[in-house]
Chains A and B, each alone.
Chain A
Amino acid sequence: MKPALRVALLAASIAVLAAVALALKRSDVYLLTLYCVYLMATFGLNLTVGYAGQMSLGQAAFLGIGAYIAAILLKLGWPFLLVVPVAAVVCFVLGLVVGFPALRVQHHYLAFATLGFNVLVYLAMRNEEQITGGTFGISGIPRPTILGVDLGGHVAFYWFTLGSLVVLGLLLWWLLRSPWGRAFAALRDNPIRAESLGINITAYTLLAFAIGAACAGIGGVYFASLVEFIEPGPFHFSASLMMLLAVIVGGQGRFFGPVVGTVVIILVPELLRGSSAPWLKFMQVWYLAVFGVAVVLLMLWLPGGLLSIPERFARKAKPR
């Protein structure tokens, strides 16, 4: 497919996604906005895991840190557009810190180190009641008004979140197509080879975590504004597992992998549960079991993720 056609298709898809909100129920628009929020976080995780080859089970912690920063600052009256960079910078710095274990350990050891970070942040959110409100959380988080435009309505906030996601996606696209992006791929493929070319593997490993964390932090700000109430539950490490699942199911190291994978983890379970078609009635009870079996089968059949389907068929079609 020609690049111009690809861009046109992408722009058309975004336009359809924006327009469809006018025809959907409020709860469906909420779900689409939630999808955009999680996609910000999984885009970042795809950079860390898919492009740079690091393991992270702590992405939900950064989403939570972004959300709590937003909850506190927005309630203090800070402008939304200032809260976003503050959350991104705080998460970037924390991402650098969380990246340090990656300089010493890899794979499942690194997974547990990042998971430990997620557990620690979750406990802090639950127990530091004076700051986070503990299990009661923080309520009454305002939605933004930007340049005099009130984004409090569900469709307006969805459009704003979708637009922000597109901007974030373009920034990541540019980054991954720059020499930095190729250095991340080199780091993933073989760190020793990368080092022999003069790539500073320490800096790139830390950057991979930091940029991924900043994306989740930005997502957290939108999450807090969307839900208007936050508590520690959504930032439990099980959410990190789901985000990792989204990256892997979509196709790690593929730019649009999280776009597909996040549909699978956020939209598909809800669609299955909410289905009113008679032959899908059993889904209202069994949707989680069906979802689990589908994921197992998908991983067995398509370890490269859903976006590897065309390649798989192309390989099969190729004469040996």
Chain B
Amino acid sequence: MTDRIIEFERVVAGYSPSLTILNETTLDARRGEITLLIGPNGAGKSTVLKTLFGILVPRDGEVRFEGRRINGRAPRDLLAEGIAFVPQGRNLFPSLSVLHNLELGGITLPRAELPARIEEVLQRFPRIRQRTQNQASTLSGGEQKQLEVGRALLLRPRVLLIDEPSIGLSPRLVHDVMTLLRGLADAGTTVLMVEQNVRTALKYADRALVLEMGRLALDRPAAELLGDPDLNRLFLGGKAARVDAGRPP
């Protein structure tokens, strides 16, 4: 079986017929790796995640999960298939308790299975366990992000899509979140991450994909890109002189 668990092939997608963001985008993510999507604002990084998760329907091209076409499938179907999504920003329901937020993450599960799954997540996040009865809005930024990731893990996803997990977090909490994602990938979960905090994220990622104007401009091992003196220029959207979108076979 190929190790490419997610594949985009010449995908065209956007927010309206007149606003195309992904412009025949071709890329992939490999099983058990952290794949980092980087690029300037408007390059289409978050749009890749939304299209993959069924929030946006591609106008052309093909999106595949484990070799099967998933264009236009609803988010709840994709959750059942094993893809979870943590969108950008604060994603908790602030008026609900921590426990109720977790329960919502498992709303598609049979009810009898839910307590065991919640226990499984709470074992991983001891700080969250101490605050299950608190209102979600009272958690610190780092705890909120842990809860968001924990909620996504309730369904034991094989692929975790996460959009800018470091937003609003202190450097130490960013390190905690990245370590958590690294641990998930090492345990076999595929992580596809969009992140503006590029230098930090590259330290934890396996592979980096640079997007420009809705197309893949660069596909390199993360460690290699981290040592590239042109990293800032690439990230800020200067002309990618050394474009190398060809992947190793």
Number of cross-chain contacts by CB at 8 Å: 57
Q: Are B94 and A196 in contact (CB under 8 A)?
A: no
Among A28-36, A76-84, A160-168, A178-186, the stretch in contact with B = A178-186
Contact with A183, one of B94, B104, B111 (Cβ below 8 angstroms): B104
B73-91 vs A: 1/0 string, CB under 8 Å?
0011001100001110001
CA distance A90 to B111 in the complex (A): 30
Instruction: Name the residue among B53, B104, B108 with the largest chain A CB count within 10 angstroms.
Output: B104
The reply to whether the CB of A192 lies closer than 8 angstroms to some CB of chain B is: yes
Q: Are B95 and A193 in contact (CB under 8 A)?
A: no
The reply to whether the CB of A278 lies closer than 8 angstroms to some CB of chain B is: no
Instruction: Name the residue among B93, B96, B111 with the largest chain A CB count within 10 angstroms.
Output: B93
Q: Which residues of A contact B55 (CB under 8 A)?
A: 192, 195-196
The reply to whether the CB of A106 lies closer than 8 angstroms to some CB of chain B is: no
The reply to whether the CB of A190 lies closer than 8 angstroms to some CB of chain B is: yes
Q: Which residues of A contact B91 (CB under 8 A)?
A: 190, 193, 196
Q: Which residues of A contact B53 (CB under 8 A)?
A: 196
Contact with A195, one of B75, B80, B93 (Cβ below 8 angstroms): B75
CA distance A192 to B91 in the complex (A): 10
Contact with A193, one of B76, B87, B100, B155 (Cβ below 8 angstroms): B87
Q: Which residues of B contact A193 (CB under 8 A)?
A: 87, 91, 93
> A193-B87, A197-B107 in contact; A182/B96 too (CB < 8 A)?
yes
Smallest CB gap from B78: residue in A: A198
Smallest beta-carbon distance A231→chain B, Å: 41
From 183 to 217 in chain A, residues with beta carbon under 8 angstroms from any chain B beta carbon are: 183, 185-186, 189-190, 192-200
Smallest beta-carbon distance A167→chain B, Å: 24
Contact with B95, one of A194, A200, A253 (Cβ below 8 angstroms): A253
Q: For this complex, into which size category does the number of interface residues on chain A fall?
A: 10 to 19
Q: Are B100 and A189 in contact (CB under 8 A)?
A: no
Smallest beta-carbon distance B117→chain A, Å: 13
Contact with B111, one of A179, A190, A198 (Cβ below 8 angstroms): A179
From 180 to 224 in chain B, residues with beta carbon under 8 angstroms from any chain A beta carbon are: none
Q: Are A179 and B87 in contact (CB under 8 A)?
A: no
CA distance A189 to B101 in the complex (A): 12
Contact with A186, one of B87, B93, B111, B155 (Cβ below 8 angstroms): B93
The reply to whether the CB of B32 lies closer than 8 angstroms to some CB of chain A is: no
The reply to whether the CB of B151 lies closer than 8 angstroms to some CB of chain A is: yes
Q: Are B151 and A197 in contact (CB under 8 A)?
A: yes
Q: Are A196 and B96 in contact (CB under 8 A)?
A: no
Q: Which residues of B contact A179 (CB under 8 A)?
A: 103-104, 107, 111
Smallest CB gap from B108: residue in A: A198
Smallest CB gap from B85: residue in A: A196
The reply to whether the CB of B105 lies closer than 8 angstroms to some CB of chain A is: yes
Smallest beta-carbon distance A216→chain B, Å: 25
> A183-B107, A193-B87 in contact; A199/B96 too (CB < 8 A)?
no
Q: Are A189 and B95 in contact (CB under 8 A)?
A: yes
Smallest beta-carbon distance A65→chain B, Å: 32
Q: Are A199 and B95 in contact (CB under 8 A)?
A: no
Q: Are B94 and A182 in contact (CB under 8 A)?
A: no
B contact set with A: CB distance below 8 Å? 53, 55, 75-76, 79-80, 85-87, 91, 93-96, 100, 103-105, 107-108, 111, 151, 155
Starting from the known contacts A179-B111, A196-B55, A197-B108, 20 additional A-B residue pairs (CB-CB under 8 Å) come to A179-B103, A182-B107, A183-B104, A185-B93, A185-B95, A186-B96, A189-B94, A189-B95, A194-B104, A195-B76, A196-B53, A196-B85, A196-B86, A197-B104, A197-B107, A197-B151, A198-B76, A198-B80, A198-B108, A199-B104
5 closest Cβ contacts across the A-B interface? A198-B76, A198-B108, A198-B79, A189-B93, A196-B85
